[in-house]
Amino acid sequence: MNGPIKTMAGSLYARQALLPEGFRDQLVPEAEQEASLVRQLVDTFLSHAYDRVSPPLVEYEDSLLVGAGLTSSAKMFRIMDSNTQRMMAVRCDMTIQMARLAATRFADQERPLRLAYAGSVLRTKGSQIRPARQFTQAGIELVGCESLEGEMEVIAIAVEALKAVGIAEVSLDLTLPPLASLLCDAKGITGDDRTAVLSALGAKDIGAFNGLKDRALFEALVSATGPVDTALVALKTIGFEGEAASLVERLIRLVEMLQEKLPSLPVTLDPCETHGFEYKTGIGFALFARNGNGELGRGGRYAVTHADGHTEEATGFSVYLDSLMDALPVATAAQKIFLPFNTSASEGVRLRTEGWRTIQGLTVEADCRKEAARLGCTHIFEKGAVCAL
């Protein structure tokens, strides 16, 4: 996409061609492909009666720095509101805004509440694996459903939406973000030991458990990772107690539901994973293209905090369009047909109704085919007929 650019070194226009790192021009056909993918994803969400909402790009800083937003403060660009001298922030994640809507504007709406969204988010810094600082995010939130039917619905819609945009084989990775902390609590592991254990679990670094009293527990947890058939057997052999036991029991039941309702969906378990799931309060999940590289989207259960302090259970899912586009074939440019200068307007209308993209010739040309080729057309309208060039 970075074709030759006419520049004069040091000139205004040389600078003009440079965008800040992590920001880019989407050109042809990527811009159209992304818009089309958003359209298809949202259409799937709407077909399940999720209501589309569109919060603003910018809010007062303190309304974005609550709940899940608290951990994202450093990711948000700040803008001074000259009207009020109050600091505003640019959203870095739309799920924070969905939680705000659920707790404020939609507080009195019937539950479960079903919200769908798509829009741009900005980040102050790109990461190594994702250098971009502007993305498009699309997703859904199911608010006010405590049962596993909630996870089941959101996962099923996520899988359906990804298949509908052309991800042939979707696979699902289930995580238990609160589990590692619950186990540390139960075993009285605090301070540096706790940090080391959580980090080693994330890295699946069994060696780091050497010398730990509860070494066997954490080693067993790491071994309960992988394809669900074997990992679940390993997980069931571990004796969990209290909240951890309830969480694992919930996971076991979800796997049973998935096997009944989406029997062809490959499922893996990763009970040690917490990275990127920091604010999840229950089961988390990530979706992958089976033969692709990266994660396509993720979601899970979290809590929405209301004005009176009570919390409400919610389950969501979101996808980043750049990841999705990386997993799909490169889009091809659309076919275009050239209409020579004197083509009647009604012929143009007819061709566009049939789905053609028509380029109207704006000058009389001696060689219309040459002109059509120059403008990148694949076809020309000649003697009342569509002709391939």
Of 81 and 205, nearer to its own copies (C-beta) is: 81
In the block, tokens 């007819």 appear at 350
Residues 313-352, one symbol each (x = binds its own copies by CB under 8 A, - = not), give ---------------------x-x--------x------x
Q: Least separation, in Å, of the C-beta of 337 and its own copies?
A: 8
Closest distance of CB 21 from its own copies, Å: 6
Residue 12: CB minimum distance to its own copies, A? 6
Q: How far is the CB of 18 from its own copies (least distance, A)?
A: 7
Q: How far is the CB of 261 from its own copies (least distance, A)?
A: 7
Residue choice 68, 93, 94, 153 for contact with its own copies (CB under 8 A) = 153
By CB under 8 A, tell whether 388 contacts its own copies.
no
Position among 70, 71, 78, 237 found at the interface with its own copies (CB under 8 A): 78
Q: CB atoms < 10 A from the CB of 212, how many?
A: 17
- Does 42 participate in binding its own copies (rule CB under 8 A)? yes
Length of the chain: 389
Residue 330 CB, shortest distance to its own copies, in Å, is 16
CA distance 79 to 171: 40
Q: Do the beta carbons of residue 351 and residue 381 sit within 8 Å? A: yes
Pick one of 70, 71, 120, 252: the residue that binds its own copies (CB under 8 A).
Answer: 120
Degrees to nearest 5, angle at CA 304 with 259 and 309:
140
Site for its own copies in 191-220 (CB under 8 A): none
Amino acid (1-letter code) at residue 41: L
Query: Which of 57, 186, 212, 257 touches its own copies by CB under 8 A?
Result: 57
State which residue, 134 or 230, has the beta carbon closest to its own copies: 134
Q: What residues between 286 and 305 interact with its own copies by CB under 8 A?
A: 305
CB atoms within 10 A of CB 28: 12
Contacts of 146 (CB under 8 A, 6+ apart): 313
Binding its own copies (rule: CB under 8 A), the pick from 32, 193, 322, 365 is 32
CB of 310 to its own copies, least distance (A): 10
Site size with its own copies, rule: CB under 8 A: 103
263 cis-preceded (ω within 30 degrees of 0)? no
Q: Is 108 in the site for its own copies (CB under 8 A)?
A: yes
Residue 326 CA to residue 170 CA, distance in Å, equals 14
Which residues in the 80-99 window bind its own copies by CB under 8 A? 81-84, 86, 88, 90
Footprint of its own copies on 257-286 (CB under 8 A): 261
Per CB under 8 A, does 375 bind its own copies? yes
Among 85, 110, 192, 384, binds its own copies (CB under 8 A): 110
**What tokens were used for 160?**
């359906």
The residue (of 290 and 370) whose beta carbon lies closer to its own copies is 370
User: According to the binding rule CB under 8 A, does residue 54 interact with its own copies?
Assistant: yes
Burial label for 142, CB within 10 Å (0-12, 13-18, 19+), is: buried
Closest approach, Cβ 75 to its own copies, in A, equals 11
CB 197 within 8 A of CB 209: yes
Question: Could you tell me the two tokens for 107?
Answer: 């507080």
Shortest Å, Cβ 115 to its own copies: 9
- Distant-in-sequence, close-in-space partners of 232: CB < 8 Å, separation ≥ 6: 224, 252, 255, 269
What are the C-alpha distances in Å from 303 to residues 100, 102, 242?
11, 11, 20
CB 336 within 8 A of CB 357: yes
User: Which window, 26-34, 171-179, 246-254, 267-275, contacts its own copies (CB under 8 A)?
Assistant: 26-34
Based on the shown chain and the rule CB under 8 A, indicate whether residue 4 belongs to the binding site for its own copies. yes
Q: Is 363 in the site for its own copies (CB under 8 A)?
A: yes
Q: How far apart are CA 218 and CA 184, in angstroms?
A: 10
Which structure tokens are listed for 214? 């509860």
For tokens 């009666």, what's the residue? 49
Residue 168 makes CB contacts below 8 A (sequence gap 6+) with: 289, 290
